[in-house]
Amino acid sequence: MNPLLLCSATTLAERIKSRRATSVEVVEAHIAQVRKVNPHINAVVEDRFEQARAEARAADERVTSSKGSGLPPLHGVPCSVKESFGLVGMRNTGGLYDHRNVIADKDATAVARVRAAGAIPIGTTNVSELCMWMESDNCIYGRTGNPYDPSRTAGGSSGGEAAITGAAGAPFGLGSDIGGSIRLPAFFNGVFGHKCTGGLVPNTGQFPIAHGHALHYMTTGPICRRADDLMPLLRILAGPDDADGIVWPDALRDPAQVDLARVDVLVVRGNGVIPVSADMLEAQTRAARALQQAGARVREVVIPGLKHSLPIWAAGMHTAEGPTFCERMGSGKAINPFAELGRWTLRRSRHTLPAIGLGILEVLMDKLPGLESASTAAGVELKAELDHTLKPFTVILYPTYPTSAPRHYRPILPPVYGMYTAVFNAMELPVTQVPIGQDRNGIPLGVQVVGPRGRDFLPIAVARHLERACGGWHPPRLAR
């Protein structure tokens, strides 16, 4: 492989600024990699290669004129962008067929911030329909495959983003997460992803976007191949804009300053509902052992309230303000999901089966107000329990998913598996997804590191150590 494809974004920026590499060389290397891998995985759905080349030439000219000083932190570094983020001149459909011709006329806040930091977007990446499923598949772009095995899911809704990062086509990208949409794809594709504390990074300029309290369930954050990029990217993204976001003063502290001997690590083996595979448990054990060897205090605990993860998250989403999911599917006019299911069986629907199923679930929730009330109360209790458990230097190691990446279509059969990630959106806690080796089939394994609210630096610090101890990202054979 071209060694530029193995570097972190911050390393690439340093090389460009010091003239040990040019932005043109770095951008061209990643464009070539996208062209190599994308026919196999369908991750990048629209490219801007020519614009990126022009921006790279301009970046190199600026290095020459400035002699490498005063340049922004990501100067000349390529990246990818999830298609649901506004990126000027590019389609911004959110995977909804009715929006197939929508072109962004303004950059989303997160996109504007990474571009102001010097990054150069080379393309947009695939999503699930309306960004609400763990398979990146829709009726505009089709399905994304996993670079470690294209017959397996790349996850969703940031599946294209994590797949192209895992395939070495981008050093980092922008994702969003309302139920696991950064962490699941990062896990399935063997890279790092961070779901920030609720409200730390603005979601402005995305389609679809949450409303009300769900706007803090939804978080924008980085997906990257190297853990050292997580905090620099989060610092670039964080802070309110005119429409969204709040300030968490402790969130952006330096993770390099964390002494692991001060850290308590709580190992939680599962939620008590869906059992976790032996491979996933072994990866969690390996991570715990690595932290213990570094001086952390490690113990295994049970958190009973996690067994209510699915109804807690579903109730929180259902009570949020804004259009219903069925209204979103119908571009403002609610569809009848049962009728749409009939059209789907006749191959006449422009919606995916998971989206139709979520519409049906929404209708059923309307019929069960008692369940919603009880689940909301359970959520309040779990949040209080986690706030009490997560002391300032405490993290939880928790499975990201019960198994490594399943084959396509399989996630719809046990949809509750995604609750291993979604519950932490409802809790508004920061979570870093960390790759921890591979299973016997060469498919990535990993673990979630959950931190206290407003202290994002802590799970990122743990992720940095686990990368060194357990190996981090390993490029798939497809990428080599």
| Cβ–Cβ < 8 Å for 59, 180 | no
Contacts with 195 (C-beta within 8 Å, 6 or more apart), sequence order: 177, 182, 183, 219, 221, 421, 424, 425, 430, 431, 432, 433
pLDDT exceeds cutoff 90 at 364 = no
> In the predicted model, is pLDDT for residue 371 greater than 80?
no
d(CA 118, CA 58): 11
Write down the pLDDT at residue 385: 96
Question: Which pLDDT band holds residue 169 (cuts at 50, 70, 90)?
Answer: very high
Q: Tens digit of pLDDT for each residue in 402-440? A: 999 999 999 987 778 889 999 999 999 999 999 999 999
For position 379, what pLDDT does the model report? Answer: 96
Q: What is the pLDDT of residue 302?
A: 97
**Mean pLDDT of all residues in 49-54:** 98
- Long-range (24+ apart) CB contacts under 8 A made by 361-368 are 361/314, 362/318, 362/324, 362/325, 362/326, 362/337, 363/326, 363/337, 363/338, 365/314, 365/315, 365/318
pTM assigned to the model? 0.97
Helix/strand/coil for 473: coil
CA-CA distances (angstroms) from residue 358 to 129, 166, 306, 312, 475? 11, 28, 22, 16, 34
Q: CA-to-CA distance for 212 and 277, rounded, in angstroms?
A: 36
CB 179 within 8 A of CB 425: yes
pLDDT of residue 366: 83
Q: What is the pLDDT of residue 416?
A: 82
CA atoms within 13 A on the CB side of 225: 25
pLDDT bracket for residue 135 (50, 70, 90) = very high
Counting residues of the chain whose pLDDT is more than 90, the rounded percentage is: 94
Report pLDDT for 58. Answer: 98
Distance CA 7, CA 13 (A): 10
DSSP state of 6: G
pLDDT at residue 368 greater than cutoff 80: no
Task: Give the residue-averaged pLDDT of 359-377.
Answer: 84
Domains, the chain, in order of start with CATH, read 3-303+387-479 (3.90.1300.10), 313-372 (no CATH)
DSSP 87-152: -TTSB--TT-GGGTT-B-SS--HHHHHHHHTT-EEEEEE---GGG-SSS-EETTTEE-EETTEEEE
* C-alpha angle 287-185-140 in degrees, rounded to nearest 5: 175
At 472 the pLDDT is 98
The whole-number pLDDT of residue 413 equals: 78
Q: What is the mean pLDDT of residues 337-350?
A: 97
pLDDT at 43: 98
Query: Which helix (H) or strand (E) segment is 79 a member of?
Result: strand 78-82
Catalytic residues: 82, 157, 181
Q: Tens digit of pLDDT for each residue in 232-260? A: 999 999 999 999 999 999 999 999 999 99
Answer with the residue of higher pLDDT: 71 or 375: 71
pLDDT mean across residues, the chain: 96
Of the candidates 57, 76, 64, the residue with the CA atom closest to the CA atom of residue 14:
76
Q: CA 321 to CA 209: how far, in whole Å?
A: 11
